[in-house]
Chains A and B, each alone.
Chain A
Amino acid sequence: MIAIIDYDAGNLASVERAVSYLGFKCIVTNNVKTIAGSERIIFPGVGAAGAAMNSLKRLGLDLVIKQAVIDGKPILGICLGTQIIMEYSEENETPCLKIIDGFVKAFPPDIKSKDGSRLKIPHMGWNGLENIKKHPVLSNLHEDDEFYFVHGYYPNPNHSEHILGTTDYGISFASVIGFNNIIATQFHPEKSGRPGLSLLKNFCMWNPS
């Protein structure tokens, strides 16, 4: 069973629908025991970092996630879930889970593309991946594959070995991060068509050594 962590951070049904569509059993839950007893964990979320961290702590889920990292259980972070595993977020000046060293930063308000045109914030829409590291969850991707993003903040890991892929939006930012048994995407695989479903399927079958 895959536990999709419910911490009052947006509608999680789309993740559940995508995982079920792929034929894997999953449950949307905030129950500490259910999550601790699951085979793998998906940690999604939309919304603001401050409120999300408060909910996680209130529900005791911060400790469950940290324990799962130690236990070697496969974990997939998505969007806000990806930001929350970092040390600290500039959004609401929020101390986060400190699973990966580095801050979550806001896109600068005057951000421009290479041709000098003004870029809008949030970064919303389809964008590609670059500098993709070899990883079982990122296998079978095509060169032109793009993913759906919606975010105004991005994770900025201190150590380059934690960056598994980058995306260009005026700046090059880490859009896939992770180490050992945890992998996390700033984009929404559940809303990214064929390549997104492929990534989710890879995760559902991933056995980190």
Chain B
Amino acid sequence: MLSKRIIPCLDVREGKTTKGIRFENNVDIGNPVEMASFYYEAGADELVFYDITASHEKRNIMIDVVRRVAETIFIPFSVGGGIRDVDDMRNVLLAGAEKVSVNSAAVKNPEIISQGAEIFGSQCIVLGMDVKYVGESVKIPSGYEIVINGGRKYMGIDALKWAVKAQKLGAGEICLNSIDADGTQDGYELKLTSLISENVSIPVIASGGAGKPEHLCEVLTKGKADAALIASMVHYGTYTVSEIKTYLDSCGVKVRKSW
């Protein structure tokens, strides 16, 4: 049977791994290629890289990181952050990423999803969604709104509607990040995760809020997620991927145990 995936997420700024809380106060925590190698050996099922480099001129640093990661690890990884068009997608895929994730650019121009899916295949295209709870309203029936620009700009788009639309356009997977939960280590947004996962047929990766193995168990069962993103809880050595998987296995969640 298919295993639930445990996916460490590395935010990369100008070639260095960094971590912030609710997208702010970032501190450098390591070399992304070394960290990728470490997590590969430690049993991560996949990796996610977000390029949070502010200046566009320094984007080539990220392409070099992607190339070196691809020569080092032999599991899938995706790259997102600042992907604006099909050329940006091509650059990271050719550098060796398995998947590319689009977020703000897809909100502004949904066609980028269908263009990418047509050229590279749906399996390559991950829709990244940053979502905030705003309360149910006529405009936002689910109560969850799409935000962009690192959680600062509200778009007036309902998260559930957007997920369904992105799937129709050809997204192969959704990485669903709760801005409310991000960096808190208080647990994933279970209601949001199950809402989206039950209403799309593509896999959903839960993101934001992981602090202990119990949180992953919750989101992979009650939250109906297909995969769980983790960051702080492994970056600072609080837990290892192996410890998390042992716990999930003991809860009856199917995980990959041999690597």
Contact = CB atoms under 8 A, between A and B. Distances in A.
Interface of A: 10-11, 13-14, 17-18, 21, 46-47, 113-114, 119-128, 142-146, 148-150, 168-169, 190-197
B213 interface: no
A191 B96 contact: no
B85 interface: no
Interface in B27-76: 40, 45, 70-71, 74-76
Contact of B121 (A10, A114, A149, A194): A10
Specify the main secondary structure of chain A where it touches its partner: mixed
A135 to B, nearest CB: 19
A21 B71 contact: yes
A146 B122 CA distance: 23
Contacts of B257: 144
A120 B5 CA distance: 14
A11 B92 CA distance: 11
Interface of B: 1-5, 40, 45, 70-71, 74-76, 93-94, 96, 98, 120-123, 172-173, 201-203, 226-227, 256-259
B36 to A, nearest CB: 13
Given A10-B121, A193-B259, 5 more contacts: A13-B96, A17-B96, A124-B123, A127-B3, A193-B40
A47 B2 CA distance: 21
Contacts of A142: 258
18 contacts: A10-B120, A10-B121, A11-B94, A14-B98, A46-B121, A125-B4, A125-B45, A126-B2, A126-B256, A127-B1, A144-B257, A144-B258, A146-B3, A148-B76, A149-B2, A169-B1, A191-B74, A195-B258
A196 B76 CA distance: 12
Nearest to A122: B123
B2 A169 contact: yes
Contact of B74 (A113, A124, A149, A192): A192
A189 to B, nearest CB: 9
A46 B45 contact: no
* Most chain A beta carbons < 10 A, residue from B93, B120, B259: B259
* Most chain A beta carbons < 10 A, residue from B5, B74, B96: B74
A64 B94 CA distance: 27
B202 A120 contact: yes
Given A17-B96, A18-B74, A120 B3 contact: no
Contact of A191 (B2, B4, B71, B76): B76
B2 A190 contact: no
A17 B2 contact: no
B256 A146 contact: yes
Contacts of B2: 119, 123, 125-127, 149, 169
B146 to A, nearest CB: 22
Contacts of B40: 193
A14 B96 CA distance: 7
A125 B205 CA distance: 12
A150 B5 CA distance: 13
Contacts of A10: 120-121
Contact of A120 (B96, B122, B203): B203
Nearest to A114: B1
A113 B100 CA distance: 29
Contacts of B76: 148, 191
Contacts of B226: 120, 124-125
